[in-house]
């Protein structure tokens, strides 16, 4: 490698790319005034030494639930600090992604203990022991505790924890300390999976976050773009387009921000001086392809070979096809890449059924009258070129 391989590289378009990253916490929350107002009302008891509320926040991914909660907690902590007569406030966050109740409680204990003290054991104790320890730690400190349980729908057996925690004081586990639970879920149907008693307490206060519309996303993106890109680099129309695309698809600010960052990457790769509409279009296409590729790579080898076989048939114009025809092209494809093909028509048909269910294929039923009977015909639900490209790159990757 020549030593000067990187010397000429400059950051041409970005002022600070990390502002478009997942970890970045925005200084200002925009376009959520109504939700912030309701949140503020729900939390105000904390300032007056009353029992804090239990709050349930729901809405699709990327609509600002975590960002708004973080900024609310920061503001509340600051206000409690300012007021001499307010009880001490302790806020603890936990993302419950694939947690057991034990793990979630353990992490709350450790968060209260901080780094100076021994962590609660990873295994070996019961969940009720963990809860007792949590209550002891809370009593030691006193004051108000707010536990933010993010992505709570990923918690295994949420009922037990969500039943116990909000009742800790009523059930005599706590005397000096008070507790409120803020549960956040991307999934509204999660609500109906909870027991009625849990619903009653956790959902004392519900806050719904709706998807953003194009103009809201535009405001959010414009604020980010101003800090992330060098002056005059990102065209307003590019921001508008990214916002419109994301609004039409999911209404997620995360998706909109990802699209803008990807658009910046495309512009930079092309040596452009500005980020334009075309770069956003190219970025959206790249994201779309990436998604399809990931899905394809997740399939079994035989599933992939069958999709490749149908893609080949499709480029020859011979779709829709019956499973028998798929089988012979599949066998050639498998042999071509040095795999042993599955030998029975039935096993090919099973893969076809799975791939149809997963949305890779479209299936139509054909009835050829008494003699022929009914049979299925298949064609790709994806761009065949994309399937062939992806397969090629999977096989030729080192």
CA distance 360 to 135: 51
Looking at beta carbons only, is 144 or 218 nearer to ligand ADP?
A: 218
What are the residues whose beta carbons fall under 8 Å from the beta carbon of 235, sequence distance 6 or more? 274, 275, 276, 277
Q: Which parts of the chain are beta strand (E)? A: 55-58, 89-95, 143-150, 177-185, 205-208, 361-367, 374-380
Q: Which of 54, 66, 69, 390 binds Mg ion (CB under 5 A)?
A: 66
88 φ, ψ (degrees, to nearest 5): -60, 145
Q: Which does 30 bind (CB under 5 to 8 A by kind): ligand ADP, Mg ion, none?
A: ligand ADP
Nearer to Mg ion, 66 or 327 (CB): 66
Which of Mg ion, ligand ADP, none does 67 bind, CB closer than 5 to 8 A by kind?
A: ligand ADP
Start-to-end CA span in the chain (Å): 20
Specify the residue for token string 């028998």: 324
Closest CB 69 distance from Mg ion, rounded Å: 8
Residue closer to Mg ion, measured from CB, 253 or 326: 253
DSSP H or E stretch at residue 110: helix 101-113
Beta carbon of residue 225, minimum distance to Mg ion (angstroms, whole number)? 22
Binding mask 281-300 for Mg ion (x = CB under 5 A): --------------------
Supply the minimum distance, in Å, between the C-beta of residue 148 and Mg ion. 10
Tell me: cis bond preceding 320? Omega within 30 of 0 counts.
yes
For residue 380, the minimal CB distance to ligand ADP (Å) is 32
Distance in Å, CB of 64 to ligand ADP, minimum: 3
**Residue number, 166 or 211, with CB nearest to ligand ADP:** 211
Q: How far is the CB of 244 from ligand ADP (least distance, A)?
A: 17
How far from 50 is each of 86, 98, 252, CA to CA, in Å?
Answer: 10, 33, 35
Residue, CB closest to ligand ADP? 64
Please choose which of Mg ion, ligand ADP, none residue 62 contacts, taking the beta carbon within 5 to 8 angstroms, the exact cut-off set by kind.
Answer: ligand ADP
Residues between 123 and 182 with contacts to Mg ion, criterion CB under 5 A: none
* Helix H or strand E segment including 111: helix 101-113
**Closer Cβ to ligand ADP, 31 or 362, answer by number:** 31
Beta bridge partners of 94: 149
* Closer residue to ligand ADP (CB): 108 or 257: 257
Q: Which is nearer to ligand ADP, 12 or 210 (CB)?
A: 210
CB of 222 to ligand ADP, least distance (A): 11
Binding map of Mg ion across residues 26-65, x = CB under 5 A, - = no contact: ----------------------------------------
107 is a site residue for Mg ion (CB under 5 A): no
Contact partner, 257, from Mg ion, ligand ADP, none, Cβ < 5-8 Å per class? ligand ADP
Full strand arrangement of the beta sheet holding 89-95:
89-95, 143-150, 177-185, 55-58, 205-208
Nearest approach in angstroms of CB 256 to ligand ADP is 8
Interacting partner of 213 out of ligand ADP, Mg ion, none (Cβ under 5 to 8 A depending on kind): none
Which of 187, 194, 193, 192 minimizes the C-alpha distance to 208?
Answer: 187
Binds 242, which of ligand ADP, Mg ion, none (CB < 5 to 8 A, cut-off by type)? none
Smallest gap, in angstroms, from Cβ of residue 18 to Mg ion? 19
Write out the residues near ligand ADP by the rule CB under 6 A: 26, 29-32, 59, 61-67, 220, 253-254, 257
Give the Cα separation of 377 and 386 in Å (integer).
Answer: 21
Which entry of Mg ion, ligand ADP, none binds 304, CB below 5 to 8 A by partner kind?
A: none
Whether residue 305 contacts residue 351, with contact meaning beta carbons closer than 8 Å, is answered with no
- Closest Cα partner for 179 from 134, 144, 140? 144
- Residue 129 neighbours by CB distance under 10 Å: 14
If you write DSSP's letter for every residue of 317-373 in order, what string do you get? T--SB-HHHHHHHHHHHHHHTT-PPP--HHHHHHHHHHHHHTTSEEEEEEE-HHHH-
Q: Which residues of this chain interact with Mg ion, rule CB under 5 A?
A: 66
């Amino acid at each position: 490698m020549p030593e000067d391989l990187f010397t000429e590289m400059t950051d041409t378009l970005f002022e600070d790319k990390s502002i478009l990253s997942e970890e970045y916490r925005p200084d200002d929350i925009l376009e959520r005034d109504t939700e912030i107002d309701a949140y503020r009302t729900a939390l105000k008891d904390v300032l007056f030494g009353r029992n804090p509320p239990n709050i349930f926040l729901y809405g699709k991914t990327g609509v600002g639930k975590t960002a708004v909660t973080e900024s609310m907690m920061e503001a509340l902590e600051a206000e409690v600090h300012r007021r001499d007569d307010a009880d001490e406030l302790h806020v603890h966050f936990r993302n419950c992604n694939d947690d057991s109740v034990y793990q979630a409680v353990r992490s709350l204990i450790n968060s209260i203990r901080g780094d100076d003290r021994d962590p609660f054991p990873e295994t070996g104790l019961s969940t009720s022991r963990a809860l007792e320890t949590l209550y002891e730690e809370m009593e030691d400190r006193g004051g108000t505790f707010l536990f933010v349980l993010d992505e709570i729908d990923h918690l295994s057996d949420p009922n037990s924890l969500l039943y116990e925690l909000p009742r800790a004081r009523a059930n005599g586990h706590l005397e000096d300390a008070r507790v409120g639970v803020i549960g956040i879920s991307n999934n509204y149907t999660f609500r109906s999976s909870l027991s009625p008693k849990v619903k009653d307490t956790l959902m004392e206060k519900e806050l719904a976050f709706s998807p953003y519309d194009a103009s809201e996303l535009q405001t959010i993106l414009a604020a980010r773009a101003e800090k992330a890109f060098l002056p005059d680099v990102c065209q307003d129309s590019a921001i508008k387009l990214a916002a419109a695309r994301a609004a039409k698809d999911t209404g997620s600010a995360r998706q909109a921000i990802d699209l803008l960052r990807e658009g910046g990457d495309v512009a930079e790769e092309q040596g452009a001086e500005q980020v334009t509409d075309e770069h956003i279009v190219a970025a959206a296409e790249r994201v779309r392809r990436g998604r399809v590729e990931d899905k394809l790579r997740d399939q079994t080898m035989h599933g992939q070979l069958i999709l490749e076989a149908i893609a080949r048939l499709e480029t020859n114009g011979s779709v829709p096809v019956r499973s028998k025809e798929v089988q012979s092209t599949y066998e050639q494809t498998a042999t071509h890449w040095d795999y042993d093909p599955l030998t029975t028509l039935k096993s090919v048909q099973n893969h076809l059924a799975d791939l149809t269910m997963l949305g890779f294929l479209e299936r139509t039923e054909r009835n050829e009258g008494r003699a022929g009977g009914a049979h299925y015909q298949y064609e790709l639900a994806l761009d065949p070129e994309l399937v062939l490209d992806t397969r090629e790159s999977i096989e030729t990757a080192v």
